[in-house]
Amino acid sequence: MTSKPTQAGPAVPGAVWLREPRPARHAPALTRERIVTAAVAVLDGSGEAGLSMRRLAETLDVHATSLYWHVANRDELLDLALDAVFGEIDLPAAHAAAWRDDVAAFMGGLRAALLAHPWSAALAGSRPLIGPNALARSEFVYTALAGAGFDGPDLSAAAAAVSHHVIAAAATETAWRHGDPATARRALNDHLRRSAAHYPTLAAHAPSLRNDWEDHFDRAAAFLLDGLAAHGGHT
């Protein structure tokens, strides 16, 4: 009979990344990789609310207790699945000549990965991003921004501005794409026009609100990168 590994002390956010993976014990081999792949599939199909240890065990055709050899709880599953999404962001073998090209490529790649997994953007804003895939992408962005002249607290703040913009934009787009986005947008525009006395600027620009998500993202990213270029001092 498989038992849960002993957990000492209170749960630590991101704890799954702070210990070595355990070897497989079952045949066919139940590995962390198989568990993560199945967890991502469940999340893609049913969202965060649909993921449980029991549901995942059924998907893998194993007893739920078998999962605890590899993961301590559902929170660790979420951390593992989220890092797998970050692993879908392609990184070039070498940095571009211009730091801005590197950062823009990262932002586009992160947005695409988060939108491909609708549950991931909201989760990325609430979980510690310290898995190996997330850290590798952070290293890439930090290196690019260091080349732009940022260091110390400014470097951390610049990197946070980049990632926070993408995560928030993807979370917002995912929320608006739920159901019928065109109908929701028309309803919002109608509401703003009816309430023009209270929201005159919003009402005047209502037709352009969230009309083209990719264009909206690219414009906002350009504003952000322009600001970073002005502050960092290098183009």
| Ordered DSSP codes for 94-161 | S--SSHHHHHHHHHHHHHHHHHHSTTHHHHHTTS---SHHHHHHHHHHHHHHHHTT--HHHHHHHHHH
Q: What average pLDDT does the segment 13-30 reach?
A: 69
Over residues 154-204, the pLDDT tens digits come to 999 999 999 999 999 999 999 888 777 778 888 888 899 899 999 999 888
Return the pLDDT at 208: 58
What class, spelled out in words, does domain 15-85 have in CATH? Answer: mainly alpha
Quote the CA–CA distance of 146 and 139 in Å, as a whole number.
10
Contacts of 106 (CB under 8 A, 6+ apart): 89, 91, 137, 140, 141, 144, 162
Quote the CA–CA distance of 123 and 72 in Å, as a whole number.
19
| Same CATH fold assignment for domains 15-85 and 90-232 | no
pTM of the model: 0.84
Spacing of C-alpha 110 from chain mean position: 7
Compare 232 and 94 and report the one with higher pLDDT. Answer: 94
Return the pLDDT at 210: 55
CATH architecture, domain defined by 90-232: Orthogonal Bundle (1.10)
Spacing of C-alpha 109 from chain mean position: 11
In the numeric block, which tokens belong to residue 219? 């414009």
The answer on pLDDT for 230 being more than 50 is: yes
Q: What average pLDDT does the segment 13-26 reach?
A: 69
The answer on pLDDT for 35 being more than 70 is: yes
**Per-domain boundaries in the chain:** 15-85, 90-232
Return the pLDDT at 25: 58
Q: What average pLDDT does the segment 107-114 reach?
A: 98
Percent of the chain with pLDDT over 90: 69
Return the pLDDT at 233: 54
